[in-house]
């Protein structure tokens, strides 16, 4: 199942980090940026949308990355689906669920 493309889910995927200046921001201080601008044929997809701060978004405007000399820190991808992907307060989860929601990969064994 694919994670729905929403503003909040893009911010979650990018960890509330501007993909151009690498600073972490609060949600109201963020925008979505089309890496390839819509007016140049860029689609609104997981592969073309990144988190940007308002300042960087204004600076890049509708330019291509090479025109603005601004490239995303990480190539935008579709995030892996998890049942609790959009949960706000992950640190406040009941500890009894932690092993299922955030398993420690070193201690998980696969059965044959």
Burial class (CB in 10 A: 0-12, 13-18, 19+), 43: exposed
pLDDT digits (tens, 9 = 90+) for 19-64: 999 999 999 999 999 999 999 999 999 999 999 999 999 999 999 9
Asked whether 79 and 51 are in contact (CB, 8 A), the reply is no
pLDDT digits (tens, 9 = 90+) for 58-79: 999 999 999 999 999 999 999 9
Name the helix (H) or strand (E) containing 31.
strand 30-34
**60 or 89: whose pLDDT is higher?**
60
What fold does the segment set 7-101 form as a domain?
A: DNA Binding (I), subunit A (1.10.30)
Q: With 0.75 as the threshold, say if the pTM is over it.
A: no
Of residues 2, 68, 79, 1, the one with CA closest to residue 34:
68
pLDDT of residue 90: 53
Q: What is the mean pLDDT of residues 104-108?
A: 65
Rounded distance between C-alpha atoms, residue 44 and residue 35, angstroms: 10
Q: 56-73 burial, b for 16+ CB within 10 Å, e for fewer?
A: bbeebeeeeeeeeebebe
Kindly indicate the confidence band of residue 80, based on its pLDDT and cuts at 50, 70 and 90: confident
């Amino acid at each position: 199942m694919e994670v729905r493309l929403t503003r909040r889910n893009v911010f979650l995927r990018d960890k509330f980090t501007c993909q151009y200046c690498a600073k972490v921001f609060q949600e109201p201080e963020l925008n979505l940026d089309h890496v390839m601008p819509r007016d140049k044929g860029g689609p609104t997809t997981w592969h073309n949308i990144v988190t940007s701060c308002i300042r960087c978004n204004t600076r890049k405007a509708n330019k291509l990355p090479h025109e603005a000399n601004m490239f995303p820190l990480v190539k935008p991808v579709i995030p892996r689906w998890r049942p609790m992907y959009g949960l706000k307060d992950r640190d406040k989860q009941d500890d009894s669920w932690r092993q299922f929601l955030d398993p420690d990969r070193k201690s998980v064994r696969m059965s044959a």
